Amino acid sequence: MNVQKKNRNIGAALLFLIFGLLFFILTVRFITIQYTGEVKGQPLASKASQLYMRSDVLKAKRGTIYDREGEVIAEDSASYTLVAVLDETLTTDQENPNHVVDPRKTAAKLADYISLSEEEIYRLLTKEGRKQVEFGPAGRDLSHQVKEEIENLDLPGIGFKKDTKRFYPNGVFASHLIGYAQKEEADDKSSKITGQAGLEKSYDEMLKGEDGAIRYKGDVWNYILPNSEKQIDEPKHGKDMYLTIDKKIQTFLEDAMNKVDREYSPSKILAVVADPKTGAIVAMGQRPTYHPATREGIEKTWHNEVVETTFEPGSTMKIFSLAAAVEEGVFNPNAKFKSGKYYLDKKQPPINDHNQGRGWGTITYLEGVQRSSNVAFAYLLEKMGTDKWKQYMDKFHFGKKTGIALPNEASGNILYNWPIEKVTSVMGQGTTVTSMQMIQAATAIANDGKMMQPYVVDKIIDPASGEVTKTKPQVSGQPISPDTAIKVRDILETVITSEHGTGRQFYQLDGYSVAGKTGTAQIASPGGGYLTGRENHIFSFLGMAPKEDPELLMYVVVEKPKLEMDENGALPVSEIFKPVMQSSLQYLNIEPQKMEETRVTELPDLTKMTVQEAKDYLKEKGLSPVVIGNGDKVTDQSPKRKETVMEGEKVVIRTNGKLSMPNVTGWSKRDVLKVANLAELQINMVGTGYATKQNIKPNAPITPGEQLVVNFATQTEILEQQKAKKEVTDTEAPLN
């Protein structure tokens, strides 16, 4: 027994020593930790802090894009992502559950607010092993209103994550200029709105800013612990951008392009409106276009074609060849030339006027400009010299980028190697340009010789510092003198007001004078040569108003519109130019001019006058006398005595001499009837429109009772006849 007792005492002593030693070690360790605050060289406070430390990103606000009046074009907007909590363990209070309690009821309710079926939502809410689910694209980018409506349903377990998206309040609005920005996810699952096209892309670094961060101590639910300190790195918000675009004028342009796009279904529309005094672009658009929020339509064309696409401008280039001729002193408006055909040499086909080379006889150079005679401009080139014209093309910066600070700008191409290329360049064939180059060059005409560099960004503002970076208008050259610019505008006005003017029927405004030039250019075929067919042309107009001191400059291009047989290609172009220019001038409070009323004259009895007296009287009244007969006395007249006629109208005089047939080409049916009635001819009129052919040759003698046959055609029919009768060659000049 004693031995057993002794053994037990020894065992107890050993256990006491062991536990005592362990207690001593723990005590020393505890005291050491308390004293040093470290374990294995690692601070315990830091470890504890890391256990509870939380951090979040403070998103930088992307800069807002405004129009020049401060109207929002693009901005960040709050959006919400729908989230459902499925983990039952997250509910601590059964009366206020934090998870989805009734998946079927929840699915039925949510189906009314997001674009998923009830069954699909139910499937997501009953996924096994999932603690939380989202609803894909259908549950993202929800508006604040939808969020509130869902919250009002009081559905347990349904919550939201707040985010931002790029918002474009005007929808389709200068879309290729503004571009778009969209959310992109990084590898770490973070997301950021990034510019993808247009100004949103080219100014992305400036617009996006830099994200900040917040660090704090939080519990398992990520709530901030009481009395904990927060460390905040403030985000640097993106800079705001103010454009030169005017929302009102841009809206006028968008509406007009939509209308023409619906009615004529062209393959392409390009249009630019600018302030010629500064170079500021106040409106810019194209069709096809796209919606910047949904990108609907972007697959048709994602290029900003106003600066990226080149084409042959056609007769609008004659504005600048005219300016060069006036500047060089070789344009005499009253000098005459023989229209119809211009022969460069005997080996090549001639340069034709746009009426299949028939021309209009011997006419003045002023009338040649009004009729857009290719032959007139070929002779003007001959007068000033090809080297001189090339210098002016360089002065107007054709073949060079404008430097508008938009991506992928094209420079165009001047073909000037062969004699034929030099001649056709004055009428806009062979040489290619961009719409923006045409606008820049035209500012010299509108701005008294000073050519302004186009620009679209008015100013940039740093929201943190308030610093403003303002764009200053830049003079990019002075190709012509102020006197030349004024003369050219006066001449171009007659293209709109003259009875021979190609723009007379289409581009006149109510209360404002317009200076401008029409253009109809052929389209190069991929296989060589040019496309054929009445509609396969680029129709355009480059105009400015008011003519005396232009406030706005506008260039419109419509490619391949679908036209009725009695419609001219200038019609869809004018349906953009006229309403936009008219509305914009009124919106800018540009005072309308006091337009002189058209003079109306009551004709006297001209038979009491000699032929010369009658002609002088009619010219004094602004009328156009037409004499049939070589006598010196007036025997009859049309219109008759006491009838009223309007300024510019033809008055036919019959004399007591032998009668001869006038050239009635281009006359209306009414005027042809005047001659037929006075000469007592048997008239047979074929077709509608304007006279194109007569069976009795001009100046041939006529006798009463003789048969007169006159063929008439619309301008569209004339173009069709030209294409049917003659094959288009590379050396032919463009149509007007």
Question: Cβ–Cβ contacts within 10 Å for residue 159, how many?
Answer: 16
Amino acid at 260: V
Answer whether 526's CB lies under 8 Å from 507's CB: no
> What single string gives the DSSP state of each residue in 381-432?
HHHH-HHHHHHHHHHTTTTS----S-TT----B---SSHHHHHHHTTTSS-B
> What single string gives the DSSP state of each residue in 489-555?
HHHHHHHHHSTT-TTTTT---SS---EEEEEEEE-B-TTSSB--STT-EEEEEEEEESSSS-SEEEE
Amino acid at 335: A
Answer whether 473's CB lies under 8 Å from 346's CB: no
Between CA 132 and CA 111 the distance in angstroms is 18
Amino acid at 47: K
How far CA 391 is from CA of 329, 442, 479, in Å, comes to 15, 17, 9
Q: Residues 457, 463, 465, CA angle at the centre, nearest 5°?
A: 110
Taking alpha carbons only, the member of 577, 546, 269, 272 closest to residue 402 is: 272
How far CA 41 is from CA of 33, 46, 221, in Å, comes to 10, 11, 31
What is the three-state SS of 263-300? HHCCCEEEEEEECCCCCEEEEEEEECCCCCCCCCCCCC
Between CA 502 and CA 492 the distance in angstroms is 11
Handedness of CA 499, 501, 504, 510 (dihedral sign): negative
Q: Which of 79, 315, 339, 540 is catalytic?
A: 315
Taking alpha carbons only, the member of 142, 131, 124, 125 closest to residue 81 is: 142
- Chain-centre distance for alpha carbon 368: 32
* Residue 315 appears among annotated catalytic residues: yes
368 backbone dihedrals φ, ψ, rounded to 5°: -65, -40
Tokens matching residue 593:
């001019």
Would you say how long the chain is, in residues? 736
Amino acid at 294: T
- Which uninterrupted H or E stretch holds 677? helix 669-679
Angle between helices 435-446 and 482-497 (to 10 degrees): 110
- Residue in the structure block whose two tokens are 């049917």: 724
Taking alpha carbons only, the member of 332, 328, 282 closest to residue 458 is: 282
Tokens matching residue 172:
């389709």
Residues with catalytic annotation?
315
